């Protein structure tokens, strides 16, 4: 565990310190676009069989790092591990996405949810973190993560994926006190879960607020941002003398970046619907920025991918505090070679922005 970090570009960039080039990793970099992942998943039996086996989760985490010169590893897991550990019975149907055997739709169901002990129900996650840290041998930092309270709540109340959010919005408008009870309980569970990941060896943290963008500005502050701010306040921010950077990402949240920057996080994820130059002005040096190429750009020609990388680098401009990433997860049908073109372009073209 005590290997010094060989490549600390990602950590430095999230803390707005000087780097020789812009670091890059990709959301969902360990996953279905890689043939070696698909083979391992077929052998494992199911997605959850991969997640709950620390050795296999480690192997999946390492796969993209063997292929590409990435600047960070991210724990292979799922945002729905917490509701699953709360007893809701997570399962996956091919082509349908995640679903729960039990939905949470009233006060009784919320009260019945336990506050998690991550060393019990989610020990497979912390075991995976420590296994990956050993395997990385300090080559790049390991990012741990969780879903946001609002995002987890949407799945728990809906009972799975949704297009119109009718159940969760129905609950929040009809029974706001119950909704807040649920979000509060989730925030408490996420704090202990992420701190357990840091204890096990995660060197940075990220909170994915996938569905924050479906809320009105007022509801976003009240139901999503407020609880992410509570989590940021409760996190372990230093370990072994090293700062643990925290990144918040609300998909569709570009208009709230200034509010998000005020939570005390270190970095904000930005999707492709927001210009990075505008984002940089909005956050006024308070936080670093991560993003923000449209994942669909990886279907384009090599030249077009390089052109887009240059455009995004120029949009952010000179100086530190930029982590290059896609604006959301890499699509499963992308040719892995295109990801290589993208990563190499960032490494090559970003040097001049750090002189």
Residues classed as catalytic: 28, 32, 41, 78, 155
Burial class from Cβ neighbours inside 10 Å (0-12, 13-18, 19+) for residue 21 reads buried
Q: Can you tell me the distance from the alpha carbon of 137 to that of 1, in angstroms, rounded to the nearest whole number?
A: 8
Maximum CA pair distance of the chain? Answer: 59
The answer to whether 210 is a known ligand-binding residue is yes
What are the two backbone dihedrals, phi and then psi, of residue 114, each rounded to the nearest 5 degrees? -80, 155
Residue 30 is assigned to a ligand binding site: yes
The annotation status of 29 as a binding-site residue, yes or no, is yes
328 marked as part of a ligand binding site: yes
Cα-Cα-Cα-Cα dihedral sign, residues 24, 27, 29, 35: negative
78 known ligand binder = yes
Is 71:90 a contact under the CB 8 Å cutoff? no
45 assigned to a ligand binding site = no
Residue 209 labelled as part of a binding site = no
Residue 99 annotated as binding site: no
Distance CA 172, CA 166 (A): 10
List, in order, residues 6 or more apart from 78 with CB less than 8 Å away: 47, 48, 51, 98
Query: Annotation-wise, does 28 bind a ligand?
Result: yes
Please report, in range form, the residues annotated as the binding site for substrate.
Answer: 28-32, 78, 155, 210, 328
Please report, in range form, the residues annotated as the binding site.
Answer: 28-32, 78, 155, 210, 328
């Amino acid at each position: 565990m005590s290997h010094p970090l060989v490549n600390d570009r990602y950590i430095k960039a999230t803390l707005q310190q000087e780097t020789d080039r812009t670091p890059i990793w990709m959301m969902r970099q360990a996953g279905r676009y890689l043939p070696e992942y698909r083979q391992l998943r077929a052998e494992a039996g199911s997605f959850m069989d991969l997640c709950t086996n620390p050795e296999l989760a480690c192997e999946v985490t390492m796969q993209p790092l063997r292929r590409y010169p990435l600047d960070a590893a991210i724990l292979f897991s799922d945002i729905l591990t917490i509701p699953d550990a709360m007893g809701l019975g997570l399962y996956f149907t091919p082509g349908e996405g995640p679903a729960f055997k039990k939905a949470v739709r009233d006060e009784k169901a919320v009260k019945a949810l336990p506050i998690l002990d991550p060393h019990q129900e989610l020990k497979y996650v912390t075991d995976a973190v420590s296994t990956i840290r050993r395997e990385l041998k300090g080559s790049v930092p390991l990012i741990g993560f969780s879903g946001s309270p609002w995002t987890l709540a949407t799945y728990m109340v809906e009972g799975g994926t949704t297009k119109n959010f009718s159940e969760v919005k129905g609950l929040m408008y009809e029974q706001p006190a119950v909704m807040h009870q649920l979000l509060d309980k989730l925030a408490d569970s996420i704090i202990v879960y992420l701190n357990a990941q840091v204890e096990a060896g995660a060197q940075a943290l990220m909170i994915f607020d996938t569905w924050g963008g479906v809320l009105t500005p007022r509801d976003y502050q009240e139901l999503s941002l407020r609880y992410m701010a509570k989590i940021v306040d409760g996190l372990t921010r230093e370990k072994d003398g090293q700062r643990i950077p925290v990144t918040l990402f609300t998909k569709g949240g570009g208009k709230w970046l200034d509010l998000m920057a005020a939570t005390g996080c270190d970095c904000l994820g930005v999707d492709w619907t927001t210009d990075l130059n505008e984002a940089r002005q909005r956050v006024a040096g308070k936080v670093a920025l991560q993003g923000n190429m449209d994942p669909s750009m990886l279907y384009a020609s090599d030249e077009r991918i390089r052109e887009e990388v240059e455009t995004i680098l120029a949009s952010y401009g000179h100086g530190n505090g930029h982590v290059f990433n896609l604006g959301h997860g890499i699509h499963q049908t992308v040719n892995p070679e295109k990801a290589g073109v993208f990563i190499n372009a960032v490494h090559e073209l970003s040097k001049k922005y750090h002189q």
